[in-house]
Amino acid sequence: MKVFFLGTGAGVPAKARNVTSIALKLLDERRAIWLFDCGEATQHQILHTTIKPRRIEKVFITHLHGDHIYGLPGFLASRSHQGGKEKLTVYGPKGIKEYIEVSLSVSQTYLQYPLEIIEIDEGIVCCDDQFIVTAKKLDHGIPSFGYRVVEKDLPGTLMADQLIEDGVRPGPIFKRIKEGETITLEDGRIINPKDYVGPPQMGRIVTILGDTRFCSAAIELARNANLLVHEATFANGEEQLAHDYYHSTIAQAAAVAQQAGVEQLCLTHISSRYERSEWSQLEEQAKVDFPAAVLAEDFKEIDIPRK
């Protein structure tokens, strides 16, 4: 599980930062990638990476401001042209269905893969045997959501060497033991899986928020997350400006991380008013309140290992 930043800027594309798009790489877990927001030129950013559009199986849109969705029609079309055949599901606030359908219809774009569009509200967005994704409304000028991605706990590691040492031959029986089945061997011995399977591996939690002021919903979504991705459009000292434009300062993002008890905070959606020479100062501002904070940059990747 890795979080890869395709765009980390706010409002309009800039030379140093493209607008928002974040890839959650789940290649080991499900040979797939999930995309969070798709700002203008996201497909251009992808060209500079090893990401294959056909691997992207889900797109989660936080809100309908242009810097988060203008790249979506182009990406959907390119995925089709580049050999994407598998189903793609787009989740987003009310209005995302009309936006996509009108864009594709007017441009006479015909996709070569099934496209499902789900307009969301608060609660469980999607759930399968590996992950559960929930959403909550944040505090922005238009409906803006944050997403909490929870990996379900995994079975513990099978102690295969110990089984072999105890005279159990490798084969399908190993799988049954790992899945928790009690086995009676031909010689009458009973194999209790608790004796040969380690403790469960805790699933990881990633919280990715849309644009927002400081709010309790952000804290709830981020509770005990391994990684929180939070917007920090403005530097400290610009609290009034952040409030007026429904955004957050660095200190406010750090306060969410602190109150939620997250392991790591990554700040994104940085205003283009801050030059590259100022980025290290912005990161230092965050570290004052939350030492495990980093500032996102385009093409930065954060690994989220299992414990």
Task: Look up residue 265 and give its two tokens.
Answer: 């905070």
Q: Which residue in the list 28, 37, 67, 139 is annotated as catalytic? A: 67
Give ∠ CA 85-60-88 in degrees, rounded to 5.
10
67 is catalytic: yes
Query: Could you give the CA distance from residue 231 to residue 262 in angstroms, rounded to a whole number?
Result: 15
Task: Look up residue 160 and give its two tokens.
Answer: 């295969």
DSSP letter (8 states) at residue 187: T
Residue 185: Cβ within 10 Å count:
13
Longest dimension (CA), the chain: 76
Task: Look up residue 88 and give its two tokens.
Answer: 């793609």
DSSP letter (8 states) at residue 95: T
H or E element that contains 244: helix 239-244
Nearest to 56 by CA among 29, 81, 39, 76: 76
Query: Could you give the CA distance from residue 29 to residue 106 in angstroms, rounded to a whole number?
Result: 37
DSSP letter (8 states) at residue 152: P
Active site residue ranges = 67
